[in-house]
Structure 1
């Protein structure tokens, strides 16, 4: 995976509903990439279409805004077949979504799918936990994990 990272021009972040974890990853990574002068196409999507066209969860937006991240223009969408050919890297928030992506990905694009936290270095977590049914602390912890993985990924891209 590391060898192909230098040619990455586009990244898709994926969770289940595309209203908490993946839009947070999109917002955080977009800002961090801009700060480092890394030009990429960055998007997010969900493996289900339950929240299509909805804005990110207000708790995700509140936690992110408190750290300076903008969710402007982000609306939930479902992963499409085109995403597998279009994006260079497809990063899932957990193993469930990796397997959901692998079920629908054409064979020649399965190598693009990975866990986002594979790029984190300060946490032992392998999956970004879904904060949807928890309290505000869960959304802050998601930000901690996403910021760490974003920093690690940007280091590998530059």
Structure 2
């Protein structure tokens, strides 16, 4: 889609992660690029990084961290929303939109968030906003 938009005369922006090749968005015509889209690609072979294997095994065994959370997939983040990767992507997206607003061409933009996978890593006050024991599940 990025290349098609760029080839059709759109001002193209890309914010966030990109796992299919270093400088992928820029090589496909994106003019505004931020985030991990400029990093060296990982090998395509799926694997769990060694530094995370023990934590995942602990999670699958039902283990909890010091906060009583399944840290690998659910975690109360330090700081506030403004300190999260999601907020960083939003700020970069705002920069992308400001640049696009100054351009006369039509605009195509992508913001690729690291989360929601997993969606369970949240900062305060959201992490404590609802008591999970009081939420009725369908």
- Fold in common (TM above 0.5): no
TM range (shorter): under 0.3
- In the superposition, the TM-score normalised over structure 1's length comes to 0.24
- In the superposition, the TM-score normalised over structure 2's length comes to 0.27
Structure with higher Rg: it is 2
Higher helix proportion, which one?
1
